[in-house]
Amino acid sequence: MGGSETAGERQRIDKWLFFARVVKSRSLAAKLAQGGKVRVNRNKIEQAAYPVKAGDVLTVTLERRVIVYRVLAAGSRRGPAEEARLLYEDLTLPAAEAAPSKALAAQREPGAGRPTKKQRRALDRWRDEP
């Protein structure tokens, strides 16, 4: 894969992750892929040499977040961030939508203290209602 990159061309996942600035080094990209932290079109991959092409959807699990990118093009170098953004479309949900909503928590007035046993039983009955 030398010279000019075309839209139908495939590229190794570790190179693409490095060129798209998902990780700081190609060796980190290879570890991510080999560690099972990358999915291509919902299929877990375990090879750094796995080929990706335009249209593939990547799900990458990083330390504190999960990112979802649609590959738009193969990269030719690790350039500035503006150039890297041309390689993908970001499909990641905003943090507020991605966070699981907690079950309805009983709301109490601030400073009301802990509920009494009678109040706790009433809350338990309320939660168990269908």
pLDDT tens digits, 86-127: 999 999 888 756 555 555 565 767 777 888 899 889 988 888
Give CA separation, 111 vs 107, 114, 115, 121, in Å: 12, 9, 11, 20
**pLDDT score, position 101:** 56
Residues 8-35: what's their mean pLDDT? 93
CB 88 within 8 A of CB 72: yes
**Average pLDDT of the segment spanning 22-28:** 95
Residue with tokens 């080999």: 34
Q: What's the pLDDT tens digit per position in 60-85?
A: 999 888 999 999 999 999 999 999 99
Q: What pLDDT is attached to residue 96?
A: 59
More confidently predicted of 94 and 53: 53
Whether residue 34 is predicted with pLDDT greater than 50 in this model: the reply is yes
Map the chain to HEC letters: CCCCCCCCCCEEHHHHHHHCCCCCCHHHHHHHHHCCCEEECCEECCCCCCEECCCCEEEEECCCCEEEEEECCCCCCCCCHHHHHHHEEECCCCHHHHCCCCCCCCCCCCCCCCCCHHHHHHHHHHHHCC
Token pair 């203290």: residue: 113
Instruction: Out of 2.10.60.10, 3.10.290.10, 3.90.230.10, 3.40.190.10, select the CATH number for domain 11-98.
Output: 3.10.290.10
Say what the pLDDT of residue 109 is: 75
User: In this model, does residue 130 exceed pLDDT 70?
Assistant: no
